[in-house]
Chain A
């Protein structure tokens, strides 16, 4: 920690301003920034580059550290969630402590929001960079805190994603605990009937996995069990599981994979005639009915079924003002991704079994994306399924006449003609909605997307990682997916969890509270204020031969909220990486000009 002892004159700041290929430089006057920042105190060098995040850009910084003795870095570029880590790594490669670095966001918070005021944007960028210089000058080198990690992963949910993640994790040598609320593993695949794209029985897929799981000594399965609390942190999560018999098991896990899946959208009474007639079924109900129906004729509840209508996008692709909102007042704007293919696959199954049944399909877009799905669509056309395309902002009307169900819709394919057709049965292609997991997301404080599915950190940079370190998500807990896509996502989550647990100890961010023992009077105000019992305590310590009461912070338990900092009258407790004095210095820089 010799860097702590550098005096002001020995601190040499390098400032690096990114053009982001025009994203920043089209609005902000980069040359002006560089000119002005070069003149600012302690700044030894200020440079700009078209893509600072590229290898070349990173090399600029690394070279300056090595050749010019730069020991404090400020990068002004895009939002830190994209590249803070990129630059930290570059700085570390050059031999400098990676935390002697401040990232200033001049894209999302400057150039993209002040397009109409380039001059204002430039002045703001300059002040923010100066504030960044002030902050980094007061920054101490920090070292990652290493915590021991349990070599065990908790998988919440025993559907296809959870089962896949369990097998992949166990194959990696990691102990697995699966918690499933139902009686057996398999989730939504525990049903009659077949699935695309493999044309297998759904339960056969479940059996493939349950065989592997039940025979694997590394995997422990809790069925009919419920998680009633999760505490702890990455490497050391504490989980309470309530079992069928009411007993509670406490287990520890190093990482968590949330594979809580989806629920079927449930139409409200009367939505497209649902519950108004026995002959209006959800797709899931229809698949089960079809798998049980045999013989020459399709008969249901005493009625021979000669014609069936299918309605797409029930509970998906909804519009405000057209569709009734969900319990939270919002409509499901998203596409559920699987219903087109699943529906058309089922129509083909129907036609194979009962070729004489007429099938009418009312859709907005047919989304049989990819290879196998598109060929299913083609097969459906060969089976003489008749397709009607409705306008995006219209919904088919369902009425009942005798024992017939009447569908009224506008059909674009026949040049916007208003059509009426009578069918014996109606199948609603209902979409997916996220499972009710407020308990789990509450224990773990997980972020959710606007569509209420879990929110990954970034769809491309970190697609299975949650906002909480050590927690991953897989499958339809993230968004609608089909089986193959769920498997991919589950394996990726298992990979990321395995990487995390591949070392016996996990490096953690060092942003925790620290105590200046010389200043501390041991008054205990910080202990009272602390939100995490045990994270800060008062201990006796021998300092310069005298026994003294001082505060002690347990870095693995401190979460770095800083509540203690605000109440210390001696300014003896502070937050690593976010010291109070650093923010005060930033404000001084902002008000200066």
Chain B
């Protein structure tokens, strides 16, 4: 088994993990950044632009990804899944599996010839199923590392990729590799999933194609997205009327997410602003309970959106059905006027889904999590990054819903905690 000795193991390489790794490494400590996906970058790299500055998400994330991949103190371990974590007297033993990409990583020159010739199309999870990709492909344009992955479950073993590869890299028989990582400290930055599309049965989001997730809308709005423009998935029509259903996965006991996810108001406003830029004639309506624009510059952003003519309607959406053309019909219970529930048709509907923890089981680590599955702080008013276990720290959405600026501020907090923890134990052993 391959053995790696490092100071801090960072689990999860979204913006929280990237930041924490860079801080720890810049402070002179060795990091293993462990990521189960084939590329680092997490959710943020798939977003279009980010509020409230409207910077392109890629422009903020890619330099951090590049810095991580070039840092002499960071061992970037992608496509690697942690299977077990044990606390011992010196620190932590992490047992991980590096999954096979079925290519020789050291030899690959990222020329994408294999991708060009592969005859098999599969669902592209990066594009949230909006467009297909090849069974062997580099995960996305800005992926780090730029290495293709072969989906062996979908591969028809035609051999086209192996024949065209100029470096003879394709290895159909590649095996998973076991890795033992010894670390003094662990940072958990495992991030979030969004609440499932079918969480709220009344919204029929699975059966109505023009009811989409906010992450799908991010891809539609991204300059390098699947279609290069915003069209509705069912028929490619340019939508003239788009609606956002707020709290479609939060503040709702019936789906087990009673808490507020903190970001949905702002991403809906941001997407609405971007939409009114790319589709100036479209009507955009946001159905909401409270607009929670609480961060720096957010209230001003919200005011700007109102001034741009985006409709904010305080109403509950009771049900979504579809008309014969596939357009979603929303049953609206207005809260601002005394009227009976109304049925309103839109061309495209985005469900503002909430955040749930991506990981709830820490594989042998007796980590305290709260009733919703987020990692708890031992003492919120002393050091929010400290978990119940000495040497284990948490940052980003793994600790609770957060937007990007809050996540980045949180990552530095976990990093300094880990660095200082190592200083304290090393000081004792000297």
A and B touch in the complex (CB under 8 A): yes
Residues of A within 8 A of B (CB): 20-23, 26, 50-51, 53-56, 58, 78, 82-83, 85-86, 89-90, 93, 164, 168, 171-173, 195, 197-198, 200, 205, 208-209, 317, 333-335, 337, 365-371, 373-375, 378, 389, 412-413, 415-416, 449-451, 453, 458-461, 463-464, 478-480, 483-485, 487-489, 491-496, 498-499, 502
A495–B410 CA distance with the chains assembled, in angstroms: 11
Complex contact B28–A55 (CB within 8 A): no
Complex contact A208–B338 (CB within 8 A): no
In the complex, whether B157 has a CB less than 8 A from a CB of chain A is no
A168–B383 CA distance with the chains assembled, in angstroms: 10
In the complex, whether B103 has a CB less than 8 A from a CB of chain A is no
Binary A-proximity of B115-153 (CB < 8 A = 1, otherwise 0)? 000000000000000000000000001101110000000
Complex contact B55–A460 (CB within 8 A): yes
Among A93, A365, A488, the residue within 8 A (CB) of B409 is: A488
Among B146, B293, B410, the residue within 8 A (CB) of A488 is: B410
Complex contact B23–A495 (CB within 8 A): yes
Complex contact B413–A487 (CB within 8 A): yes
| Among B169-177, B190-198, B235-243, B415-423, the stretch in contact with A | B415-423
| Among B3-11, B181-189, B298-306, B358-366, the stretch in contact with A | B298-306
Contacts of A85 in B (CB 8 A): 63
A416–B27 CA distance with the chains assembled, in angstroms: 57
Within 8 A of A (CB), among B46-86: 50, 52-53, 55-56, 58-60, 62-63, 65-67, 69-70
Among B28, B299, B408, B409, the residue within 8 A (CB) of A335 is: B299
In the complex, whether B411 has a CB less than 8 A from a CB of chain A is yes
Complex contact A21–B56 (CB within 8 A): yes
Complex contact A168–B416 (CB within 8 A): yes
Complex contact B384–A487 (CB within 8 A): yes
Among A55, A82, A198, the residue within 8 A (CB) of B66 is: A55
By beta carbon, the residue of chain A nearest B224 is A21
Complex contact B408–A55 (CB within 8 A): no
Contacts of A480 in B (CB 8 A): 296
In the complex, whether B424 has a CB less than 8 A from a CB of chain A is yes
Given A172-B423, A367-B294, 19 extra CB contacts under 8 A = A20-B223, A21-B224, A51-B59, A197-B380, A198-B380, A365-B292, A369-B262, A369-B294, A370-B401, A371-B401, A412-B335, A412-B336, A415-B336, A487-B381, A488-B384, A488-B406, A491-B385, A492-B413, A498-B419
Contacts of A50 in B (CB 8 A): 141, 224
Binary A-proximity of B251-293 (CB < 8 A = 1, otherwise 0)? 1000000111010000000000000000000000000001111
By beta carbon, the residue of chain B nearest A461 is B60
**Most chain A CB neighbours (cut-off 10 Å) among B60, B65, B296, B419:** B296
By beta carbon, the residue of chain B nearest A493 is B412
**Can you name 30 A-B pairs with beta carbons within 8 Å?**
A20-B223, A22-B224, A22-B228, A54-B58, A54-B62, A54-B65, A54-B66, A55-B66, A55-B144, A55-B145, A172-B419, A198-B381, A208-B381, A333-B300, A334-B296, A366-B290, A367-B293, A368-B260, A371-B260, A374-B258, A374-B260, A389-B314, A449-B296, A460-B60, A463-B408, A463-B409, A484-B380, A489-B409, A491-B417, A494-B416
Contacts of A200 in B (CB 8 A): 381
Among B291, B381, B419, B420, the residue within 8 A (CB) of A483 is: B381
By beta carbon, the residue of chain A nearest B15 is A460
Contacts of B298 in A (CB 8 A): 335
Complex contact B290–A367 (CB within 8 A): yes
B325 CB to nearest chain A CB (Å): 30
Known contacts A53-B66, A89-B67; is A495 also within 8 Å of B419 by CB? Answer: yes
Within 8 A of A (CB), among B219-251: 222-224, 228, 251
Contacts of A502 in B (CB 8 A): 26-28
Contacts of B314 in A (CB 8 A): 389, 412
Complex contact B416–A334 (CB within 8 A): no
Known contacts A172-B416, A374-B258, A494-B416; is A55 also within 8 Å of B65 by CB? Answer: yes
**Most chain A CB neighbours (cut-off 10 Å) among B70, B295, B335:** B295
**Most chain B CB neighbours (cut-off 10 Å) among A369, A479, A487:** A369
Among B110, B296, B413, the residue within 8 A (CB) of A479 is: B296
Complex contact B62–A55 (CB within 8 A): yes
Contacts of A365 in B (CB 8 A): 290-292
Known contacts A373-B260, A413-B335, A453-B296; is A51 also within 8 Å of B27 by CB? Answer: no
Known contacts A335-B294, A366-B290, A502-B28; is A463 also within 8 Å of B67 by CB? Answer: no
Contacts of A337 in B (CB 8 A): 294-295
Complex contact B59–A78 (CB within 8 A): yes
**Most chain B CB neighbours (cut-off 10 Å) among A93, A389, A488:** A488
> 3 closest A-B pairs (Cβ-Cβ)?
A492-B412, A21-B223, A491-B413
Known contacts A22-B224, A333-B300; is A53 also within 8 Å of B337 by CB? Answer: no
Contacts of B293 in A (CB 8 A): 335, 367
A373–B258 CA distance with the chains assembled, in angstroms: 11
Binary A-proximity of B366-402 (CB < 8 A = 1, otherwise 0)? 0000101010010111111100000000000000110
Complex contact B53–A459 (CB within 8 A): yes
Contacts of B228 in A (CB 8 A): 22
A134 CB to nearest chain B CB (Å): 27
A401–B419 CA distance with the chains assembled, in angstroms: 61
Complex contact A51–B416 (CB within 8 A): no
By beta carbon, the residue of chain A nearest B290 is A365
In the complex, whether B309 has a CB less than 8 A from a CB of chain A is no
Contacts of B416 in A (CB 8 A): 168, 172, 491-492, 494-495, 498
Complex contact B413–A495 (CB within 8 A): yes
A411 CB to nearest chain B CB (Å): 10
A317–B146 CA distance with the chains assembled, in angstroms: 46
Contacts of A51 in B (CB 8 A): 58-59, 62, 141-142, 224
A202–B404 CA distance with the chains assembled, in angstroms: 29
In the complex, whether B405 has a CB less than 8 A from a CB of chain A is yes
Complex contact A495–B63 (CB within 8 A): no
A90–B62 CA distance with the chains assembled, in angstroms: 13
Complex contact B296–A460 (CB within 8 A): no
Complex contact B383–A21 (CB within 8 A): no
Among B23, B66, B380, the residue within 8 A (CB) of A499 is: B23
Complex contact A334–B299 (CB within 8 A): yes
B313 CB to nearest chain A CB (Å): 11
Contacts of B65 in A (CB 8 A): 54-55
A193 CB to nearest chain B CB (Å): 14
A317–B301 CA distance with the chains assembled, in angstroms: 12
A576 CB to nearest chain B CB (Å): 25
Among B62, B299, B384, the residue within 8 A (CB) of A484 is: B384
Complex contact B292–A369 (CB within 8 A): yes
Contacts of A483 in B (CB 8 A): 380-381
A492–B413 CA distance with the chains assembled, in angstroms: 5
Complex contact A371–B292 (CB within 8 A): no
B394 CB to nearest chain A CB (Å): 11
Contacts of B300 in A (CB 8 A): 333-334, 450
Contacts of B419 in A (CB 8 A): 172, 495, 498
Contacts of A83 in B (CB 8 A): 59, 63
A464–B58 CA distance with the chains assembled, in angstroms: 21
Contacts of A371 in B (CB 8 A): 259-260, 370, 372, 374, 400-401
A413–B334 CA distance with the chains assembled, in angstroms: 10
By beta carbon, the residue of chain A nearest B339 is A415
**Most chain B CB neighbours (cut-off 10 Å) among A209, A333, A371:** A371
By beta carbon, the residue of chain B nearest A58 is B66
Complex contact B380–A21 (CB within 8 A): no
Contacts of B409 in A (CB 8 A): 463-464, 485, 488-489, 492
Known contacts A172-B419, A369-B262, A485-B409; is A491 also within 8 Å of B383 by CB? Answer: yes
